[in-house]
Structure 1
């Protein structure tokens, strides 16, 4: 979105007259946008004045195009400054400039992260070069005009107040790769910055480059072979590789086929893990975040804006979007409408809240309404199925065993299953934690999870003496901290306990499951008791006013099935209900498996 665009000459006039801030504020209002606060207005005044000093030379043509706060299409990200022009051979170029008022920064050991004073305090933030570089990569990968018009992209950063005596921090060796891709210019480097600009924009543009880019279609430039929308539904139980296939599909479409695709989930936990792990591969956070999206991202998305949207954990999709669930109509509809091809990976037995609406029938209904053709196999089936078990040491029988034990469905695996999978039921939850801790020391791939039967008093407290889960044997623990989005892989998070919302979609080598009193064994049957859920749990939201015992029962059983299938090599179990503990021990004793 072009918020403010003009020639270099007009930009210099707007700055020198002192009107640039009011012009920008009016432009924001005209576009229906809000800018952050007075600090942003101050930043405009200071930084744009510094830019004007650099541009105020006859060497740079007066008819260069200047854009301020350019919003990249289909994102919320804004580039501080864009300069458009042509080189001596009449090739078009865009220079993307990240502006900072910093006077100093501190290097960190984190890839692409520095510490700087911003927002009233010292914070860990992206290195300015990484910010500029990520904007360029987003445009390069998601805008057809860049490719079709062969527009050169040149990211950089201008830290006009940055002290030369502190340069070793911002130019530290660990940032060298991105500094090469997006150079930084600091205080007293106006001439150096100007020379950099002159490499790319020695002539004014013959065409409106900024308008061309802003109106460019989302990548790829070539349409599919026909205009027929298509929807593919893929069913698979826990551990059948749904997420692996989904991510592999994303990689194939993006890197090998040049398609515009995104991976979509309702649950943020797997996305956050992908963010952190891909950052270690030197991808920028903004680039990664443009590939992995929340399911509420398509409320106002144009029709067929994407070649492919890949909805993993589609059973978790909701009707409404937004924090207050007040936006949009239906997430399934919005995903199908936004993509030429929509792919849904689904397991209806993993529906774990009353807000989950994802079902095969619901997807088919919206595909018909949106005119999207269901993919069919040669035999006529319109749903693909993943059946091979990759988790639980490849034991498909373990899933059947759980279905029987939890009385989700009767199976032939009453007495167990084949496979080298370690399952234990513990009398002592403290011992379970210590055994699991030893597994975690190997590679940080063991975690504890629990049913949502315990309140969260530590959430808004800094008191280290407050615990959320207190069980017999002096067991005390907290739910996973809300200060991190990557509990599943953090090096210091073992003693925190995850719940269904932070564990679904993830896997570990070993998982320890605490089964609360919402699942018990009485009169020869496994029964559910939703009233034992913590009051803070939103999974059963709405069932007090409109009771639905069948749905509540299904959600409790599904929750524990999901938790009990998070381990690739083994599952350790503690049941708070002694009768359920004895029942599960007896079931396991019938198998030739290790038992504690």
Structure 2
């Protein structure tokens, strides 16, 4: 593993460790889930919903309470109301699944079979005629909202099936991280599926990943609503724009050498196929391959040292922290002179699988744009200590460099004034 001042504390396996100390708000949520599970353990079905923006620690709390309940369920003596319960955790994300299974190796009360992908879990439980006592679902916004026979899911909705297969369902959900037509979640659909059961909702608000002032988080949020705000003030969080992708990458590599866990990411605007071949992103002098598909690798992509030589997609980094991120906004992300903001060209998006299965969508073009903006939000909220951005579109690149120059000019003027 890479060495550096920040690298150890940001390893995902440590971040999600059940021994991690929780914040007061996170601990309050954990106790609320515990109380809910006890209060509804005789119900036919009940749902606890965890919400919050990226980086608020939803998965940390989920894994912490799952580990506590699993430990209590497998005690040698019957001292807990959780004793003997059959509980599972599912996540529809292969990189996150690697992480959970790696964590399971550290604790004797956990088994690898406690963690499954949702389709595998549904098919296995249906075939065996069994149900779970408590089912924990991470990244529920990645669950399928339609059948996917190619991947052996023949029912209509993952979440609907999972609730039916569990007495109590604990769900992590963020509709701003929906990335595909076949996982096209919104508030109305979620409420329709859970509204007939006892439901408790808890919304986490404290940001733990992006160690920046509120103006950086506000800038990212505005950009993902197609608004370009003035450049945030200089601060400990290193936020800057580059007019050359290779210069960005060179700088990121120096950060990686010093601190570790620094990676290049890009919007899905460059061709990529799962054909066993390397596929490259080129921006001027910059020429680097997309992330290689290695499902048999034990470590997730974000934590393998060799991936400093690759560009990650939204699918490889969703749910993970990085110390520093270099982000390429590809050809689909454009400057709109009429609004002085952002324009999204859905025709330039290369992720064809994201837009497969438009049946039943009232406004597919609007959903396409929202999916692409969601992806940008995910990519921009991976960095703990610094975010560096390069834009393919010359007009957008010019606009970003302009607001950066204005910020630097204002800062320089203030310094000069203080010396008078």
TM-score, with normalisation over the residues of structure 1?
0.54
2:332 maps to 1:518: yes
Q: Is the 8 A contact 1:296 1:322 kept in 2?
A: no
- Specify which of 373, 386, 406 is matched with residue 570 of structure 1: 386
Q: 1:290 — aligned with what?
A: 113
* Match in the other structure for 2:169: 342
Give the match for residue 260 of structure 2.
444
Match of 1:266 in 2: 92
* Cα root mean square deviation, aligned: 3.1
Q: Is the 8 A contact 1:516 1:576 kept in 2?
A: yes
Corresponding residue number in structure 2 for 1:356: 183
User: Aligned equivalents of 1:305 and 1:487: distance in 2?
Assistant: 33
Map of 1:255 onto structure 2: 71
SS across alignment from 1:433: helix
- How far apart, in 1, do the equivalents of 2:386 and 2:262 lie? 9
Which whole-Å CA distance do the structure 2 matches of 1:254 and 1:408 have between them?
A: 44
Q: SS of the counterpart of 2:183? A: coil
Match of 1:555 in 2: 371
Q: Answer yes or no: is 1:492 the counterpart of 2:303.
A: no
Q: 1:455 to 1:341 in 2, by over 3 A?
A: same
Aligned partners of 2:274 and 2:293 also within 8 Å = no
Q: Rg: which structure is higher?
A: 1
- For residues 64-213 of structure 1, what are the structure 2 equivalents within 5 Å? none
- Using the alignment, how far apart are the partners of 1:528 and 1:384 within structure 2? 33
Using the alignment, how far apart are the partners of 1:327 and 1:512 within structure 2?
A: 39
1:235–1:346 CA contact under 8 A, matched in 2: yes
Tell me the equivalent position of 1:31: none
Say which of 289, 311, 315 aligns to 2:141.
315
Shift of the 249–592 alpha-carbon distance from structure 1 to 2, 3 Å rule, reads farther
Where does residue 163 of structure 1 map in the other structure?
none
Residues 316 and 408 of structure 1, relative CA distance in 2, 3 Å threshold = farther
Q: Which residue of 2 aligns with 1:275?
A: 101
* Structure 1 residue 481 displacement after superposition: 1.2
Q: Could you say if the C-alpha distance between residues 242 and 527 of structure 1 is closer, same or farther in structure 2, counting changes exceeding 3 Å?
A: same
- Is it true that 1:468 corresponds to 2:286 in the alignment? no
- Higher RCO (C-alpha under 8 Å, 6+ residues apart): 2
Once the two structures are TM-superposed, the CA of residue 353 in structure 1 deviates from its matched residue by 1.3
Contact 1:467 1:476 in 2 (8 A): no
Whether the 8 Å CA contact 1:239–1:391 is kept in 2: the answer is: yes
Return closer, same or farther for 1:577/1:456 CA change in 2, 3 Å cut-off: same
Report deviation, 1:223: 11
Does the alignment pair 1:541 with 2:353? no
1:225 Cα deviation after fit: 4.9
Shift of 1:483: 2.6
TM-score, length basis structure 2: 0.75
- Structure 2: tracts of 5 or more residues without a match: 1-37, 73-81, 412-420
Matched, 1:477 2:288: yes
Q: Distance in 1 between matches of 2:326 and 2:383?
A: 8
| Equivalence for 1:233 | 49
Q: Residue 529 of structure 1: CA displacement?
A: 0.7
- Partners of 1:586 and 1:548 lie apart in 2 by 34
1:323: how far off?
3.6
Label 1:467 to 1:357 Cα distance change in 2 as closer, same or farther (>3 A).
closer
* 2:218 corresponds to: 400
Partners of 1:231 and 1:367 within 8 A in 2: yes
Aligned length: 353
1:240-277 alpha-carbon deviations (Å, 9 max, x no partner): 11111111121121124554322222221211233345
Unpaired runs of 5+ in structure 1?
A: 1-221, 376-382
| Pair 1:432–1:557, CA change in 2 (3 A) | same
Is 1:390 the counterpart of 2:202? The answer is no
Equivalent pair of 2:226/2:341 in contact (CA under 8 Å) = no
Q: Indicate if the aligned counterparts of 1:393 and 1:419 stay in contact, CA closer than 8 A.
A: no
Per-residue CA deviation, residues 337-375 of structure 1 (Å, 9 max, x unaligned), is 111111111111111111113334323322245xx3112
The answer (yes or no) to whether the contact 1:346–1:359 under 8 Å persists in 2 is no
Quickly say closer, same or farther: Cα 1:225–1:426, change in 2 above 3 A. Answer: closer
* Alpha-carbon distance in 2 for matches of 1:527, 1:386: 31
Shift of 1:390: 0.4
> Which residue is 2:269 aligned to?
453
**After superposition, what is the alpha-carbon deviation per residue over 1:274-310, rounded to whole angstroms, capped at 9, x for unaligned?**
334554x3879xx653222212234343587222212
After superposition, the Cα gap between the structure-2 partners of 1:223 and 1:346, relative to the gap in structure 1 and judged at 3 Å, is: closer
Q: CA deviation at 1:488?
A: 1.4
Determine if contact 1:304/1:339 at 8 Å carries over to the other structure. Answer: no
Greater helix content = 2
Inter-CA distance 360–344: structure 2 relative to 1 (3 Å threshold) = farther
CA contact (8 A) 2:301 2:317 kept: no
Tell me the CA shift for residue 495 of structure 1: 0.8
Offset at residue 459 of structure 1 (A) = 4.0
Q: In the TM superposition, what is the alpha-carbon distance from 1:414 to its structure 2 partner?
A: 5.5
- What secondary structure does 1:432 align onto? helix
* Partner of residue 530 from structure 1, selected from 346, 351, 357: 346
Q: For 1:431 and 1:565, how far apart are their aligned partners in 2?
A: 22
